[in-house]
Amino acid sequence: MAGAEVGPPPAPARTDLRTRCAVAAGRFAGWASRVTGRGAGTQVGGRIMLALAPGALGALAAGHRVVCVSATNGKTTTTRLLVEALRAGGHDAVWNTTGANMASGLAAALARPHTARLAVLEVDERWLARVLDPLRPALVVWGNLSRDQLDRFGEVHAIARTWRALAEAHPDLRVVANASDPHVAWAAEPAEVTWVDLGAAWRDDAATCPRCGSLLRWSEAGFACPGCRFATPPAVARLRGDELVVAGTPVRVPLRMGGAWNLRNAALALTAAHLHFGVDLAAAAAAVGTVEAVAGRFTTIPVGAGRTARVVLAKNPAGWTEVLHWLTTQPGPVVLAVNAHLADGRDTSWLWDVPYELLVGRDVAASGERALDVAVRLDYAGVDPLVERDPRRAAAVLAARTADQAVVTIVASYTQFTALTRSQW
């Protein structure tokens, strides 16, 4: 179904006394966290708000037209690109700029002083079911589902079933969805869907039909189930390379950030802005093309001797595979920095599902707290790495070996990425 432009934003809502007091307490806690150097203050502030006023999320969302963006990979970038696309159409928005995407982070984002009547919120894929009713979104954007920190979140089919239950419970829910991901396509079926054909780059977590369990068949046209005829739905928007066609209108997506995955993120954002908010497609594309980095992604950091390194986040087999394929087109040394904290997932067995063989012949360093695990995996891939736990130091060593000033790329898991880029956010 093609999208329809959403209506005017609701009138500003007046929050109740309990919520206002909770917000004041949360802001103070956030401020205290920042000034004492304990953290950014977002999570602790939001937790205190919700502890003092359990209904605060709904109260803060009232008076806003809410868009929720959820996926395993790319939700932070899609959210930022959607905000920029909407601004091109004159729509001011508040959003969770730090990527804090559970209930506490959403509450903290909405509690920040702002005049916007539009909220674009990145939502963790497992938390979406818990926050959908209080947020009452006018639109949901669903990107992709793949394995991610199995020791924390469980497997892909469980999340797909949760999303489908949401769509069944809210059949009038407007969704912009990735038609090329079988789990997303099945989950979104019962809703009012604007389908976007993004092409299927990662298929390893979608071997079987989410509807009947048969083995899916893949072709250039997409997926098809021989058992129940479940197949790629016809899409109103289609991305091929850097060209997006939305309802018959083509536009080039001029991204400054590299990677085919970011083109897919942009395609979802542009389709949502154009079809659901009436933003001119060319203007929206130009706006997303101004974004150079999102929450530290693709930012550069100094590594000494006047050299810098580009930092890229990769969290799971799908994300790492995307980044490694992109690196085959990028010259320069590579640092692989992996931690195994709770936010990364403590189980590093996923390293064996990533095609590190793509780095054969490159100057590579194994880094992070699990540098030895990475080094063993690289050895089996035929790569002889430098082993250095400090990614900045590893990048400096590789940069010194490179006479042509080629950019060093640090590919980092979540906590290592955050440590490297926090000051750049």
Q: What is the DSSP string of 196-221?
A: EE---S--TT--B-TTT-PBPEEETT
pLDDT tens for the chain, 425 residues long, are 445 566 666 655 566 888 888 888 888 777 777 777 766 657 788 889 899 999 999 999 999 999 999 999 999 999 999 999 999 999 999 999 988 899 999 999 999 999 999 999 999 999 999 999 999 999 999 999 998 765 555 578 999 999 999 999 999 999 999 999 999 999 999 999 999 999 988 888 899 999 999 999 999 889 999 999 999 999 999 999 999 999 999 999 999 998 999 999 999 999 999 999 999 999 999 999 999 989 889 999 998 878 889 999 999 999 999 999 999 999 899 999 999 998 888 889 999 999 999 999 999 999 999 999 999 999 999 999 999 999 999 999 999 988 777 789 999 999 999 999 876 55
Query: Do residues 402 and 366 both lie within one domain?
Result: yes
Domain count, the chain: 2
Query: Do residues 394 and 356 both lie within one domain?
Result: yes
Its pTM stands at: 0.92
The CATH code of the domain that includes 374 is 3.90.190
Classify residue 7: in a domain, yes or no: no
Query: Do residues 51 and 92 both lie within one domain?
Result: yes
Query: Do residues 238 and 351 both lie within one domain?
Result: no
In the block, residue with structure tokens 């729509």: 91
Classify residue 1: in a domain, yes or no: no
Boundary residue ending a domain (231, 262, 288)? 288
Query: Do residues 90 and 222 both lie within one domain?
Result: yes
- Nearest CA among 67, 65, 63 for reference residue 11: 63
The CATH code of the domain that includes 129 is 3.40.1190.10
Query: Do residues 349 and 407 both lie within one domain?
Result: yes
β-strands 139-142, 217-219 pairing: unpaired
Q: How many CA atoms are closer than 13 Å to the CA of 409, on its beta-carbon side?
A: 21
Classify residue 187: in a domain, yes or no: yes
* C-beta of residue 284 within 8 angstroms of C-beta of residue 249: no
Could you list the residue range(s) of the whole structural domain that residue 410 is in? 300-424
Query: Do residues 338 and 196 both lie within one domain?
Result: no
Boundary residue ending a domain (264, 288, 312)? 288
Boundary residue ending a domain (288, 308, 328)? 288
Query: Do residues 324 and 223 both lie within one domain?
Result: no
What size, in residues, is the chain?
425
